[in-house]
Amino acid sequence: MFEKEKIRHILSQREKQTIVVTSDPLAPAAVLVPLYEREGEYWILFTKRTQKVAHHKGQISFPGGAREEVDRDPVDTALRETFEEIGVKPEDVEILGELDRMGTLTSNFLITPLVGIIPYPYEFTIATSELEELVEVPISALLDSDNYREESHVYEGRAYVASFFDYKGKVIWGATARILKQFLDLIFGEDSDYRKV
């Protein structure tokens, strides 16, 4: 059974790392990994970006974006961007913890991912200038090995493994897939504390 307190505990017990595969300077950004309960199981909410945005055109991503001067910390950034993109009010999000900071390869952001619970159902308001649609995926589908593959890549002379999740023809890849993979491994992987409890 999925329990938010177990997730909060797992995320609080580990030392955060910074994972980058580029030597370029990176700008701070933050995203929310939004979890919610629907039809008796837990789902993750993603967004699909339009072709009009500056970065990650057409990609499936978590709500979030670059830090602005008004933001005191990554939580502020993630919650502000989530409200701007999909209309979820900051007070409606319960932050459970933080994952490792991840560097992007092409847009030069250093992303702090925050894991949070959002209410469901919810009256989402999509910023159509940035987003094409919301993509809702059950965690059970993300844990299904038939929906996951890896590829070896080299960037600036450094080898790394790229993750790809496929759900009903929609492919989650790039930094979003790396963040998602870490979350699933930590919470639901063979060695996770969640399975031991």
pLDDT tens digits along 138-182: 999 999 999 999 999 887 788 888 999 999 999 999 999 999 999
Whether residue 183 is contained in a domain is answered as no
Mean pLDDT of 24-35: 96
Interatomic CA distance for residues 94 and 96, integer angstroms: 6
Whether residue 71 is contained in a domain is answered as yes
Split into its structural domains, the chain has a count of: 1
Mean pLDDT of 52-59: 77
> What is the domain extent for residue 111?
4-142
Whether residue 153 is contained in a domain is answered as no
User: What percent of the chain has pLDDT above 70?
Assistant: 94
Mean pLDDT of 27-53: 94
pTM: 0.93
Whether residue 58 is contained in a domain is answered as yes
* pLDDT value, residue 195: 45
Judge whether residue 191 has pLDDT over 50. Answer: yes
Assigned token pair, 43: 């789902």
Whether residue 8 is contained in a domain is answered as yes
For 142, phi and psi rounded to 5 degrees? -70, -25
| Neighbouring C-beta atoms of residue 98, cutoff 10 Å | 19
Whether residue 149 is contained in a domain is answered as no
The overall average pLDDT reported for the chain is 91
* CATH at 94: 3.90.79.10
Q: Do 155 and 22 touch, CB atoms closer than 8 A? A: yes
Q: Do 101 and 16 touch, CB atoms closer than 8 A? A: yes
Most confident of 21-25, 73-77, 104-108, 184-188: 73-77
For 183, phi and psi rounded to 5 degrees? -60, -50
Interatomic CA distance for residues 62 and 111, integer angstroms: 11
pLDDT tens-digit map of 115-137: 999 999 999 999 999 999 999 99
Mean pLDDT of 92-115: 94
Judge whether residue 1 has pLDDT over 80. Answer: no
